[in-house]
Amino acid sequence: MRVLVVDDHPVVRDGVVTALGRHSDIEVAGHAADAAGAVAACARERPDVVLLDLRLPDALAADVVPRLRAVSPASRVLLFTAFPEHSAVAPTLAAGAVGLLVKDASGVVLGDAIRQVARTGAYRGAAVDAAGVAGAPVTPREYDVLRLVAAGHTNGEIGERLRLSPNTVKTYLHNVMRKLDARNRAQVITNARAHGLL
């Protein structure tokens, strides 16, 4: 089984590579520190499993997963995060990640998770059951709207992208603003960043 490790923290990357080195049936095909590097490495190496950090310097995992699947459809993406309750988890799973592994997992659990993903195409850890639900301040759809607002899109443009009516987009945005205690679009972006959502 060949694995691509994607994380922007060298200590984490090195630790994972070392832990995986103890499993004779698992080979580290490469590693990357950002989304662009991950996509390039995935296209080049075509790994069985991509171990993907939730937040990278140039993108969130929810945006990276479709790009990885586009360049290497057979690769399975396993989300790897220290924050299983983060609101970005549910959209990442919805985008095509096959499971969630928390970063405090032991080397044995890490190896077992990768084997399970390679064999079955999915990983069901205890954290997945609550991912994106417990402690998540916004729903996955509200999060989609929030990300597009932060990218500068109008309600009409967001509606076209998400196949929603402008009024529905407005409702989602109103809900997000209420939850994040924001009065306008600029403030909702600022508050979302403060909560680690963007």
CA distances from 104 to 33, 107, 149, 170 (A): 19, 9, 33, 39
CATH number of 2-129: 3.40.50.2300
Gap between the Cα atoms of 62 and 94, Å rounded? 8
Architecture in CATH for domain 140-194: Orthogonal Bundle (1.10)
Gap between the Cα atoms of 138 and 177, Å rounded? 10
For residue 117, what pLDDT is reported? 93
Helix (H) or strand (E) holding 29: strand 27-32
Six-digit token string for 71: 């360049």
Domain residue spans of the chain: 2-129, 140-194
For residue 138, what pLDDT is reported? 74
Q: What are the residue ranges in the chain where pLDDT is below 70?
A: 125-137, 195-196
Q: Work out the widest C-alpha separation in the chain, in whole angstroms.
A: 55
pTM of the model: 0.68
For residue 191, what pLDDT is reported? 83
